[in-house]
Amino acid sequence: MHNGRMSIVKRKHIPLLMLLPVLVYLFVLTIVPLVYVWVLSFSEYDLSRSEEMAFVGLRNFYDCFQDVDFYNSLTVTLIYVASAVGIESVFGLGIALLLSKEFWGFTVFRSLIILPMMCTPVVAGIVWRYILSPEAGIANYFLSVLKIPPLVWLGDPNLAMVSVVFVDIWQWTPFVVMVLIAGILSLPKEPYEAAVIDGASNWQVFYYITLPLLKNVILITILLRVIDAFKIFDQIWVLTKGGPALRTEVLSIFIYRIGLRFFSMGSAAALSIVMLFIVIGLSQVLIYALRPKES
Amino acid sequence: MKPRKRFVFRAGLLTMILMSIVGLNAGFALSAEKPYTGVTIRISADATPPTYAKQKLVGEFEEKTGIKVIFDILPYPSMLEKQMAELVAHTGYYDIISHSSHLLGRFAAGGHFEDIQPYLNNPELKYPGFDIEDIVPNLRVQYNEWPKGSGHYYGLPWLADAYILYYRKDLIEDPVEQANFKAKYGYELSAPKTWDQMRDITEFFTRDTDDDGLIDFYGYTLAGAAGNPGLNSFLQFYLAFGGKYYDEEMKPVWNSPAGIKALEFFKGLMKFMPLGVTGYSYGEVITELLNGDTFAISNWSQFWAMCDDSTKSKVVGKIGYIPVPKGVAEKPHMGGWGFGMAKDSKHKEAAWLFMQWVDSVATELKTVPEGASPTTFTVFMDPELNRKFPALRAIFDSIRVGEAHPNHPESEESFRYGDTAVLKALTGILSPKEALDEWVEKEYKMLKRHGYYKK
């Protein structure tokens, strides 16, 4: 009797026991820091001074919304995310459609196209810094061959954003391509056969069959890319350090400066929370679009 | 007093007298006893050639003192973060902190550095060959004194650095260039002493050397990238044009007539510079010189050793070095590095000995050839070194009278506004005056928020 009850208790606890390491891990590395960030965001805390944290209520949030540079960074980030992810999605879909066909050497192409993605963002940044160098870079060399005057890719306030977006597109379009190829290859064959019998054109097949069937995969890819692009730091830091004149200073660079250069941890925490809410908001829009229509 | 107690008292007194005599005469005794044997000190420094030059020699110090030295070398941004994290947590992990001159206020005001006066006053802790009087006084003022004028020094300078002018000596000495220059400008071509001369010379040397219709050799190259290079380049003009950082109430005055004139002058020189200097950092500027693509650059003096390194330079033996030109003032813009003694260090005496060893003449004589600029008059004036490394004289003339960045605790925030303003003016987003007005307004607000103008 006694033993039987024990075993029931044990059996009840086994799932919990097995989950425990993950729960502890999550608690220590996610929940605790998150709570701490919230506490920090309501405090004034200069990391370079050995002073106690002082509770300042919503002042950090107030300061953040008063700061014109915050709005600049927010705008820069939104432009960056929208243009990079937008172009990556269109290019990615096109390339995925091409590479989902089986042709001579298609596996080689599929392998080659993921190369940029394998490159560490910092390394990609350094390489592109050389390529885009106005004097010695190969980009301006090609322009000179075409008799186009050289461009100041990273130092011109109107071009710097185009350049950093371009590097992002180079690096992350392959990700979109890979996910979409997987999506395309898993589509059912029957609708296509039916369409061919009905005499649909290639465009009609794409627009009325492929695109609707692939919609969820596309949306998930966009969702992942939006979240990722929103947090961009390393690549831009290497390329422009947020310059010239803050034209490429995305939110994460702005927060980095305030937190780890100016050591105003309270303000940095408040800004991080604002950024977190913006990312959650954007993701919710995409997740809403993903929900099944029937429900 | 009982006889036994009297004996102890007298013996103690005698020991103290003897010790002070020995101390006064010999300083820290490099005897066989090595009182610090077994002590380990840790130094936080950034990954640059001068750091490695000192690290390479450290065996000498270890052997003489028995103190083990660990260099914790990290790239600049990571170094700063690690330093701050250790200091704030009071771990005592670092004994010596290498810091850029502009960060002194942040460390000292944060209570992380120790005033070195008691150590300096203690004759027993004097390292043989170290002489505080031999260190160029302006270096101590610019790198270690906080607040300026207070007489409190938080460490020692260890790497002198300033913006200097690197120029093509061979071109200045070319008789054809000299004749052409005189015909065009009406005076002799020589290494520029004033900014007006510099303007003419940069214009003169900006040219198309292969007749393809495109400029391929530039009169002048300056770093203009975001993240402080643009600001540093501006400061060399600002100080020469008579600019001051703050007024008596610590209000920023960058938009003074000197500031506007300096920024306009900088912008005016851009047409003699390579395209895209607004994206150039110091490395790209020195590369331009080493590739033989520019007549002159202003850059940190710490790059001098590269110019005559044939593996890196196409212009070996062709470079001359002088302080940056004068305007109404002779005040070169300085940077540079100090060693601060960490307040939480558990081995302050050992740390102090190490700092003195670094600045002693014998050590500096060995590290200068590795590219580490010295701090002492003796080494700066050494005839042999001056013959081999002509940059030394330019560095000395600059650091003797120059002025380093503002070094108050909020300096990094001030720089951010400055950097943005300079770039806005150079790229034409705002006029120089508008940009400087914006800088002053933002910095004033920031300083006010940090409690600067409370009466």
- Distance, in Å, from the CA atom of B195 to the CA atom of B236, rounded to the nearest integer, reads 11
Nearest-CA residue of chain A relative to B89? A50
Of the candidates B222, B208, B209, B166, the one whose C-alpha atom is nearest the C-alpha of residue B191 is: B166
Write out pLDDT tens, residues B122-172: 999 999 999 999 999 999 999 999 998 999 999 999 999 999 999 999 999
A272 in any annotated domain: yes
Give the pLDDT band of residue B19 (cuts 50, 70, 90).
Answer: very low
Q: Which of B413, B414, B422 best probes binding to A when mutated, by most A CB atoms within 10 angstroms?
A: B413
Q: Per-residue pLDDT averaged across B427-452, rounded?
A: 95
The pLDDT assigned to B26 comes to 47
Cβ distance A134 to B427 less than 8 Å, yes or no, reads no
Write out pLDDT tens, residues A232-255: 999 999 999 998 989 999 999 999
Residue by residue, DSSP assigns A188-214 as -SHHHHHHHHTT--HHHHIIIIIHHHH
> How far B51 CA lies from chain A's nearest CA (Å)?
22
In this structure, the strands spanning B333-334 and B403-404 are parallel
Residues B128-142 as b or e (16 or more Cβ within 10 Å = b): ebbeeebbbebbbeb
Of B84, B293, B416, the CB nearest to A263: B84
Q: Per-residue pLDDT averaged across A81-90, rounded?
A: 97
A290 within 8 A of A220, measured Cβ to Cβ: yes
Of B81, B85, B423, the CB nearest to A244: B423
A170 in any annotated domain: yes
B407 within 8 A of B104, measured Cβ to Cβ: yes
Cβ distance A155 to B424 less than 8 Å, yes or no, reads no
- Number of CB pairs < 8 Å for A and B? 106
**Residue B34: pLDDT above 80?**
no
Q: Per-residue pLDDT averaged across B410-423, rounded?
A: 94
**Residue B56: pLDDT above 90?**
yes
| The model's pTM | 0.87
Which region among B77-86, B167-176, B292-301, B429-438 has the lowest average model confidence (pLDDT)? Answer: B77-86
Question: What residues pair up with B296 in beta bridges, in sequence order?
Answer: B167, B220
Q: What is the CATH number of the domain that holds A152?
A: 1.10.3720.10
A140 in any annotated domain: yes
**Residue B15: pLDDT above 70?**
no
A212 in any annotated domain: yes
A4 in any annotated domain: no
Residues of A with CB under 8 A from a CB of B: 46-50, 63, 133-136, 150, 152-157, 160, 240-246, 257, 260-263
| 3-class state of residue B452 by DSSP | coil
> How far A270 CA lies from chain B's nearest CA (Å)?
17
Compute, in degrees rounded to 10, the torsion defined by CA atoms B23, B26, B28, B34.
-110
Q: Per-residue pLDDT averaged across B4-12, rounded?
A: 55
Amino acid at A172: W
**Residue B4: pLDDT above 90?**
no
Write out pLDDT tens, residues B192-238: 999 999 999 999 999 999 888 889 899 999 999 988 999 999 999 99
Cα R_g (chain B), whole angstroms: 25
**Residue A269: pLDDT above 90?**
yes
Give, in degrees to the nearest 5, the angle at Cα A16 between A10 and A18. Answer: 95
Place of tokens 């047409």: B271
What letter would DSSP give residue B194?
B
Cβ distance A50 to B293 less than 8 Å, yes or no, reads no
The pLDDT assigned to B10 comes to 58
Chain A CB contacts of B285 under 8 Å are none
The pLDDT assigned to B35 comes to 82
Cβ distance A241 to B111 less than 8 Å, yes or no, reads no
Q: In whole angstroms, how far apart are CA B275 and each of A150, A248, A285, B270?
A: 8, 19, 43, 8
Cβ distance A244 to B278 less than 8 Å, yes or no, reads yes
Tokens representing residue B20 in the block: 């002070």
Cβ count near B410 (within 10 Å): 21
Cβ distance A134 to B276 less than 8 Å, yes or no, reads yes
Cβ distance B274 to A246 less than 8 Å, yes or no, reads no
Cβ distance A135 to B276 less than 8 Å, yes or no, reads yes
Write out pLDDT tens, residues A16-33: 889 999 999 999 999 999
A171 in any annotated domain: yes
Chain B CB contacts of A133 under 8 Å are 276, 284
Question: Into how many domains does chain A fold?
Answer: 1
Tokens representing residue B266 in the block: 């900088």
Helices (H), B186-256: 195-205, 229-240
Cβ distance A240 to B423 less than 8 Å, yes or no, reads no
The pLDDT assigned to B27 comes to 59
Domain of A209? 42-289
| More confident site: B170 or A12 | B170
Place of tokens 């938080």: B154
A7 in any annotated domain: no
Please tell me whether the peptide bond between B75 and the residue prior to it is cis, using omega within 30 degrees of 0. no
A101 in any annotated domain: yes
The residues near B230 (Cβ < 8 Å, ≥ 6 apart) are: A243, A244, B223, B224, B278, B419, B422, B423, B426
